[in-house]
């Protein structure tokens, strides 16, 4: 842009200088011609003086000697003035042609002076005097003719020079007007061009700023120039892109933070629920144990054909059901006693799959395994871990009324500090983990339910179809094994449960 | 009666006015106490050149003597004697012959004469012809055309006359086919060069200057005879001139070369200096005149 501005001004200045130069040339030409004209007018006086002196001389030519004697000083003065006049002409003219004529006239005057002197001093009369008179007369006529020619030429030159002066002055006006008009037009176009060059990118940048202000982060300003504005637009576009990226990162971070908050809340809720359920279940289990013990004694003491035996059996069945419920609650609250052993996880999975194989087939569900080999070893209770997988697979089956596919895969991963920091609601240390993924393509879970999915007694299966303790047990067992579990689900597409269990490292 | 009286008064008045006017015309030209000094010049060369040569001297003399000095050129040599007689001029640069005449007839006083560029204060006369004229001796001149300068010039008349007398020509009027008087020395040279005359006579100073400025003359003119040296054209003044003025004039001329302005004037005059001159210097001319049978005391002539 700077270069363009400088070039524009140089262009205007160049045109101005060019016009001024042409104008000056014509003015110089005019003034030179004017000076020449003044010179011609000045020498016009000299020519008149010359003619006057020539006439004086001619008057004396035919005079008798006595006149010369009486007026000799005047005659000499006239001839000298004639000589001076022609010399003055010589000093004024510089054109070679005219100079040659003047020199020729000077020679004639010199000859005239010689012949005139001879005539003045001649003592004899008669033919000699007449010859000299004729010579002087001829010479003076020649001078007169030459002067006359010079006068005519001078008049012609004056006319010609006057015409050329007027023409040059007229041209000067035209050139001045043309230069002014041209410079004005040029200045107008240059100003318009520069204004456009400046305002167009500024306008684009202002529009870009408005777009960004309106929330269109990452808005790009289009500019095809190669000047400083191109750099500015480039910087603007980079800034816009950067804002867009930062905004996305911020949103992502906000989402993550929100998720973490939700998970933390969920975890705290689950922990609170676990504590409460565990306490109730423990006390209830003790009470139930006493009731079931006394019920067993009572049944042994009452005959089998007693009318109340059926009532006892019903109470006993309810007692067992209550016992199962209490066990499940204890499992969720991690207060159930476990018997941990090093276990190959693939064996646990294949064991569960073999149990479920027939029921899955009946429901047109395919079970696909993709297990990491050699099987990672976890340190845990096989019954509880089998229960975890069983619950997940049963839930998956229940979500696929018309069949589908359940994929179970394992892989080992190192969960670092960053992961731990990200899921700080989960109580585990960084280290080597086995990742178990159970994914189905069933009906999925509504988003609003995802936060409550691991809570006890929360079920979407309808009344009488589920206890709402299956996933609570999964959560409790995984937590009890030093791991963690996550769910991701899209309604209508299926759900994916991810479980991390620490890989067992036997003591060296 | 009244008419007669008025006529008489009128006549007297006219006579008085005429007398006053006459006095006014005459007195300024001759009186010693007048404001200007008029000096005559002989037309020894082209009158215009002659006038120009002496113009700076007029300015110089005016400044030095405190009185306006003007030169007047005369169309005839002989006129100078008349002018001096009529007191129309107060003095003149006279040629050797006119000077001798004026000394003898008018008692003029010679003051100073110029030293020529060759270092001498003398000049001499030449008789010359064109190389192609075939004239080598006086005998060859017979029946030819002779261009004298003037009857009052030494080089242009007295010398050729004396020369012809010495060579047995008693009456030149019958010897030449034609003769005439050009009036100036350079006109005589021009006449020979242009063929208007076969023989010419002129003074050497003008002759040399003419040849200097005219290459054709150098090529075509040859000198047959030269005279003895005579004093150069000196300033002679009227015997009536105030002595103090005379001395001023003389001293100014003699000291001209001492100042730069005077040197410049001398250069234009084609002279180196001025030297004192007196009546004795003109004796050589008197002898030459004697050879030409000219009586200086009562020499009268009329140009033809």
Locate the domains of chain A by residue range: 2-189, 251-336, 338-508
Domain positions in chain B are 37-121+233-291, 125-227
Contacts of A448 (CB under 8 A, 6+ apart): none
pLDDT band at B2 (very low <50, low <70, confident <90, very high): very low
Predicted local distance difference test score (pLDDT) of residue B81: 82
Poorest-confidence range of A42-56, A211-225, B217-231, B276-290? A42-56
By C-alpha distance, the chain A residue nearest B304 is A124
- How distant is the Cα of B56 from the closest Cα of chain A, in angstroms? 15
CA distance A501 to A481: 7
Size of interface A-B (CB pairs under 8 A): 79
Q: Kindly state the tokens that stand for A407.
A: 């994929």
> Do the interacting molecules here have an ipTM over 0.90?
no
Check pLDDT > 90 for residue B192: yes
| Closest by Cβ to B76, choosing from A123, A125, A128 | A123
Contact of A23 with chain B, judged by CB distance below 8 Å, is answered with no
pLDDT band, very low/low/confident/very high, at B301 (cuts 50, 70, 90): low
Nearest to B182 among A83, A118, A125 (CB): A118
Q: Mean pLDDT for chain A?
A: 83
Class at the top of the CATH hierarchy for domain A338-508: alpha beta
Contacts of B176 in chain A (CB under 8 A): none
Is A111 within 8 Å of chain B by CB? no
Residues 6+ apart with CB under 8 A from B32: B90, B240, B241, B242, B245
Least confident span in A92-96, A385-389, B199-203: A92-96
Q: Which of B125, B124, B148 is nearest to B198 (CA)?
A: B148
Q: At A49, which helix (H) or strand (E)?
A: helix A2-61
For the ranges A99-113, A483-497, B112-126, B255-269, the lowest mean pLDDT is seen at A99-113
Q: What is the mean pLDDT of residues B252-269?
A: 93
Half-sphere exposure of A98 (CA within 13 A, CB side): 20
B37-121+233-291 and B125-227 agree in CATH topology: yes
Q: B121 vs A62, which has greater pLDDT? A: B121
Per-residue model confidence (pLDDT) at position B3:
42
* Right CATH for A251-336 from 1.10.287.130, 3.10.180.10, 2.40.110.10, 3.40.50.10490: 1.10.287.130
* Answer CATH for B37-121+233-291 from 3.20.20.210, 3.40.50.2000, 1.10.3720.10, 3.40.190.10: 3.40.190.10
Q: Is A106 on the interface with B (CB under 8 A)?
A: no
Provide the pLDDT for residue B175.
94
In tens, the pLDDT along A296-327 reads 888 888 888 888 888 888 888 888 888 877 87
- In this prediction, residues B169-192 reach a mean pLDDT of 91
**Residue A131's closest chain B neighbor by CA?**
B196
- Quick check: A369 and A349 in contact, CB under 8 A? yes
Q: Cis (ω within 30 of 0) for the bond into A477? A: no
What value does the mean pLDDT take over residues A453-471? 77
In this predicted structure, what is the pLDDT of residue B304?
45
B178-181 and B145-148 strand pairing? parallel
The alpha carbon of residue B119 is apart from the nearest alpha carbon of chain A, in Å, by: 28
Cβ of residue A123 closer than 8 Å to a chain B Cβ: yes
Q: Average of pLDDT values for B8-34?
A: 42
Mean pLDDT of A361-375: 92
From residue B245, alpha-carbon distances to B26, B29, B233 in Å are 21, 16, 20
Distance in Å, alpha carbon of B295 to nearest chain A alpha carbon: 22
Using the predicted structure, report yes or no on whether residue A392 has a pLDDT greater than 80.
Answer: yes
Shortest Cα distance, chain A CAs vs residue B187, angstroms: 6
The residue of chain A nearest to residue B74, with distances taken between CA atoms, is A69
CATH number of B125-227: 3.40.190.10
What value does the mean pLDDT take over residues A163-190? 84
B72 interaction partners in chain A (CB closer than 8 Å): 72-73
Cα nearest neighbour of B47 on chain A = A117
- Higher-confidence residue of B215 and A165: namely B215
Q: What is the pLDDT of residue B13?
A: 42
Weakest mean pLDDT among A86-100, A113-127, B14-28, B193-207 = B14-28
Residue of higher predicted confidence among A277 and A447: A447
Q: Closest by alpha carbon to A449, among A460, A438, A440?
A: A460
pLDDT of the residue at B16: 43
Domain A2-189 has CATH 1.20.120.230: yes
């Amino acid at each position: 842009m700077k270069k363009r501005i400088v070039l524009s001004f140089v262009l205007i200045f160049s045109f101005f200088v060019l016009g001024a130069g042409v104008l000056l040339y014509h003015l110089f030409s005019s003034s030179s011609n004017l000076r020449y004209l003044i010179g011609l007018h000045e020498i016009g006086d000299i020519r008149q003086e010359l003619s006057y002196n020539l006439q004086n001389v001619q008057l004396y030519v035919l005079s008798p000697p006595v006149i010369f004697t009486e007026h000799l000083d005047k005659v000499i003065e006239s001839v000298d003035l004639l000589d001076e006049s022609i010399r003055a002409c010589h000093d004024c003219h510089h054109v070679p042609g005219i100079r040659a004529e003047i020199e020729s006239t000077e020679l004639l005057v010199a000859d005239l002076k010689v012949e005139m002197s001879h005539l003045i001093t001649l003592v004899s009369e008669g033919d000699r005097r007449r010859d000299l008179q004729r010579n002087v007369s001829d010479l003076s006529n020649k001078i007169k003719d030459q002067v006359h020619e010079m006068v005519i030429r001078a008049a012609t030159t004056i006319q010609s020079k006057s015409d050329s002066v007027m023409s040059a002055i007229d041209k000067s006006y035209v050139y001045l007007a043309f230069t002014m008009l041209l410079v004005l037009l040029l200045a107008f176009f240059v100003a318009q061009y520069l204004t456009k060059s400046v305002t167009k990118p500024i306008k684009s940048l202002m529009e870009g700023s408005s777009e960004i202000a309106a929330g269109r982060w990452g808005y790009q300003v289009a500019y095809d120039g190669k000047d400083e504005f191109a750099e500015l637009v480039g910087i603007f576009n980079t800034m816009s892109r950067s804002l867009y990226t930062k905004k996305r990162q911020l949103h992502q971070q906000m989402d993550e933070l929100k998720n973490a908050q939700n998970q933390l809340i969920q975890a705290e809720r689950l922990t609170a629920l676990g504590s409460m359920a565990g306490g109730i279940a423990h006390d209830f289990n003790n009470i139930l144990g006493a009731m079931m013990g006394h019920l067993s004694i009572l049944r042994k003491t009452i005959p089998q054909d007693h009318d109340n035996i059926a009532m006892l059996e019903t109470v006993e069945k309810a007692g067992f059901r209550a016992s199962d419920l209490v066990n499940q609650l204890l499992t969720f609250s991690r207060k159930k006693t476990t018997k941990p052993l090093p276990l190959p996880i693939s064996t646990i999975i294949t064991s569960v799959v073999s149990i479920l194989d027939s029921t899955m087939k009946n429901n047109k569900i395919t079970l696909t395994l993709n297990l990491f080999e050699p099987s990672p070893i976890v340190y845990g209770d096989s019954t509880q871990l089998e229960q975890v997988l069983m619950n997940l697979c049963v839930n998956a089956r229940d979500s696929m009324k018309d069949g589908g596919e359940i994929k179970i895969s394992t892989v080992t991963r190192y969960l670092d500090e960053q992961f731990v920091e990200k899921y700080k609601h989960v109580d585990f240390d960084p280290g080597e983990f086995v990742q178990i993924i159970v994914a189905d393509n069933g009906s999925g879970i509504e988003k609003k339910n995802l936060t409550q999915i691991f809570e006890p007694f929360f079920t979407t299966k309808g009344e009488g179809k589920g206890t709402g303790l299956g996933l609570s047990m999964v959560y409790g067992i995984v937590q009890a094994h030093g791991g963690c579990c996550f769910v991701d689900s899209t309604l209508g597409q299926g759900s994916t449960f991810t479980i991390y269990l620490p890989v067992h490292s036997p003591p060296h | 009666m009244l008419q007669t009286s008025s006529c008489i008064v009128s006549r007297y008045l006219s006579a008085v006015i005429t007398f006053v006017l006459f006095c006014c015309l005459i007195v300024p030209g001759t009186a010693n106490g007048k404001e200007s000094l008029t000096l005559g010049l002989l037309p020894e060369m082209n009158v215009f050149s002659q006038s120009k040569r002496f113009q700076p001297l007029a300015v110089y003399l005016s400044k030095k003597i405190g009185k306006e000095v003007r030169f007047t050129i005369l169309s005839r040599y002989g006129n100078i004697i008349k002018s001096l007689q009529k007191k129309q001029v107060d003095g003149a640069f006279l040629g050797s012959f006119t000077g001798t005449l004026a000394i003898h007839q008018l008692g003029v006083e010679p003051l100073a004469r110029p030293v020529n560029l060759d270092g001498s204060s003398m000049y001499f006369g030449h008789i010359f012809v064109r190389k192609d004229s075939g004239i080598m001796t006086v005998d060859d001149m017979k029946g030819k055309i002779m261009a004298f300068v003037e009857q009052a010039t030494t080089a242009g008349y007295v010398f050729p006359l004396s020369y012809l007398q010495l060579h047995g020509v008693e009456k030149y009027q019958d010897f030449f086919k034609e003769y005439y008087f050009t009036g100036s020395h350079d006109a005589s040279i021009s006449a020979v060069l242009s063929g208007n005359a076969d023989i010419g006579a002129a003074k050497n100073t003008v002759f040399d200057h003419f040849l200097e400025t005219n290459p054709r003359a150098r090529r075509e003119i040859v000198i047959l005879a030269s005279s003895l040296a005579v004093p150069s054209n000196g300033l002679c003044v009227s015997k009536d001139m105030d002595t103090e003025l005379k001395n001023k004039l003389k001293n100014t001329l003699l000291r001209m070369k001492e100042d730069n302005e005077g040197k410049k004037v001398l250069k234009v005059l084609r002279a180196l200096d001025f030297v004192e001159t007196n009546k004795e210097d003109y004796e050589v001319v008197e002898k030459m005149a004697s050879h030409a049978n000219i009586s200086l005391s009562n020499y009268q002539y009329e140009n033809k």
